[in-house]
Structure 1
Amino acid sequence: MERLKDKVIIITGGAQGMGKVHAEVALTEGAMVVITDINEEKGNEVAKELGQNILFIKQDVTKEEDWKKVIDATMDKWGKIDALVNNAGITYNMKIEDISLDDYMKIVNINQVSVFLGIKAVTPIMKEQKQGSIINISSMNGLIGGAIGYTDTKFAIRGMTKAAARELSPYNITVNSVHPGVVHTPMLEQPGVKEAVDKFKETIPMRRVAQPEEVSNMIVFLASDEARYSTGSEFVIDGGVTASL
């Protein structure tokens, strides 16, 4: 069954990593997908690889004018926007005394401000359509502590999600946050990282990390009509790490 048949979905940070997997799964579910990314070369490669129902747009998610460009291009091609996945994000694993203000603000702008700009950009379209789904990718570190900067912004996404959900619910627009734990991506196979992840796995109740598709399947659910009465909620995919909170 194509759970996203004929739906138009925008995915930021879609040229690589989890964003690319989200795009692949959404396409298999019948969606038309717009991926955005700052990396133009990889974005064009992914669009070419994934076929005719995908559009790549180069975007700096921290710039309001780039959001307008994405909205205009999506509407020109498909005439509607059914879902937005605010997926773009970064982190620096640095101590408080070592991180500069410039680095800290870069994390805030990409992880947090971009989500605000994305919500603001799609709201008029979704209001006019009288329907839509906004999916904000937070983290299990939006529920428990982690790296400075990253944790702060992922907590902020929770609050922004709830505020937007309350305001937009009367227009049949849902807003939810997704909180993945550690996800198996090529980055985890790097020397040093693999050893740390193997050690961390022993603290996960399910004793394994998530597969990318397990996160993408949650996004499919939230973008589909099956989730039309879920809003302002946190959907956790962490193998039980935060179960004792």
Structure 2
Amino acid sequence: MHKFLLAGVSVIALSLSAVQAQELKYPKGEGAFSWDALQTFADAHKDLSGQKLTVWGPWREGGDQEQFLTVLAYFEDATGIDVEYGSSENYEQQAQIDAAAGSSANITILPQPGLLADMASKGYLVPLGDDMKARVEAEHAAGSSFVGLGTYNDKAGAPTFYAVPYKSDLKSLVWYSPDNFADAGYTVPETMEDLLALTDKMVADGKTPWCIGLGSGGATGWPATDWVEDMMLRTQPADTYDKWVS
């Protein structure tokens, strides 16, 4: 299963801390890159200098935040737009609070389609329009699926395109130590029955077979939904899954 981060467009700008100016990680025109796309983008958006854009997202520290700020730096360089990025430990809850107060960021990045659906039904999101919808369909191999993932019922109940995928992560992988398996005489299971049997054997051997991180501030527990969804799709008909998530 893939986990998607969807960029939904909110209603009113939120006052955030400005992203500190930083040098471009890779000087333009250098390195093993093609800079044509960036130049084309810059040429098409060169009249935006001085405008401001606020973004609210999940990345607060470490490599993920650094990578995102790198993307914003090139966006600022290409457009002249001043981008203000903000986040918090409970950023999903804060996004809902700000939306209800009418003080949302211009763009909010959320990993929960269900939350976007709720915000759309309350009239908190701004439609992206048919042009953006057509662009997503044309530029992505899974374009129609991405459009479906970003389409939610508006306040009147009409299906409306609100969000585009910014990032997609492959989830539901099981990592193990080959050395530990070899030392214990375990073999890699190939079926669900084998996996359950191995789990029971590890417990009988006094080991802890599973470990998963579920901490996420006020949203603690959501990583487990990836596994529940994956198991549902593998063991139940698609309509059962649809009923469960609707």
TM-score when normalising by structure 2: 0.29
Mark the structure with the bigger radius of gyration: 2
More helix by share: 1
